Amino acid sequence: MDYVYIGGVRIEKTAVLAPMAGVCDYAQRVLCREFGAALVFGEMASSAGLVYGDKKTPKLLACGGNEKPFAAQIFGNKPDYMARAAEIAAEYKPDIIDINSGCPMPKITGGGAGSALLKTPKLLGEIVQAVVRTAEKTAAGKFNETKCRVLPIPVTVKIRTGWNESSINAVETAKICEANGAAAITVHARTREQFYSGTADWSRIAEVKRAVKIPVIGNGDVTSAEKCRQMYEQTGCDLVMIGRAAWGAPWIFNMCDGNVTLEKRLEVMMRHIELLISDKGERVAMKQARAHAAKYLRGLRGAAFFRNQCASLTTQEDFLNLIEKIRNEYENN
């Protein structure tokens, strides 16, 4: 097994779970870790929300021991706010703090954050520097229980290849992040304009890898074990990140792809819902479980009928009844 170090954090060189808003909560992260995800990223937390004391935002930074190594992700476009957000995030003891400058959603980019920062790489560099300095301050002069000096939390940055095809600047942006103290860079090989459509251009990941000395994490269109291997080979990246392909298929991290039995699929789906309920309570969990359940059924013969039924799940009993219907359907056909 090969390993990659991001700061002082040792990570197995398999694949890591991407941060996905509304998807990569505690339940999703735990399952992916159980199936071998080498590192998991939390949902992105708003720096403004943290600074102004929003009650829900800090929940996005919390992590359990069964999730580690864990990266807390923050977003914003003001260096002082991002520094304060990093200070708050550090209180939750993440292994890594990640700066999101890759999210393409209008509600994020409209405020100048996420992938909008690709249009202002100098500002992104100032943000990275502010967050790195904060990480260094939180560790300064501290020692752990074995009297070893506490290392600063490494700061990483997630970017895209550029705002659009006429402004590809991943190499420039990565160099600026590195110069300002970033410990690693993730490249989603699409532009902001592409969102999640089209094809990821892995050659851009390779360009960034050749341009910087820090570890580079490749992201985009990795949907199988074979695709994971191809990305390593074609780009030379240090780690591969898997996002949407892991939703409803956390077993992708043990490289068995989608070749799982129906019973195993249902077993993992049930555990996912149980984790959701234990974390959020039945009422909230079951609303979120509808989308997760539909993803688990993806690709099954005649699954459209059962995916439609997922939309009406309101209790754990409803979910268990659905599981039984699925079993009966496939056993009798």
103 is catalytic: yes
Closest CA to 252 of 240, 263, 270: 240
Cα-only R_g, the chain: 20
> Token digits for 315?
């209790």
- Distance separating alpha carbons of residues 20 and 202, to the nearest angstrom: 20
Closest CA to 310 of 323, 329, 327, 300: 323
- Yes or no: say if 212 and 175 are a contact pair by the CB < 8 Å rule: yes
- Distance separating alpha carbons of residues 217 and 238, to the nearest angstrom: 6
Closest CA to 73 of 109, 24, 30: 24
- Distance separating alpha carbons of residues 133 and 214, to the nearest angstrom: 18
- Yes or no: say if 76 and 85 are a contact pair by the CB < 8 Å rule: yes
- Distance separating alpha carbons of residues 135 and 137, to the nearest angstrom: 5
Total residues belonging to the chain: 333
Amino acid at 287: K
Task: Quickly count: other Cβ atoms within 10 Å of residue 294's Cβ.
Answer: 20
Q: Kindly name the residue from 24, 32, 63, 103 that is annotated as catalytic.
A: 103
Q: Output DSSP code: residue 158.
A: E
DSSP one-letter string for 40-106: EEPPPEEHHHHHTT-SSGGGGG---GGG-SEEEEEE-S-HHHHHHHHHHHHTT--SEEEEEE----H
Beta bridge partner(s), residue 219: 188, 241
Active site residues: 103
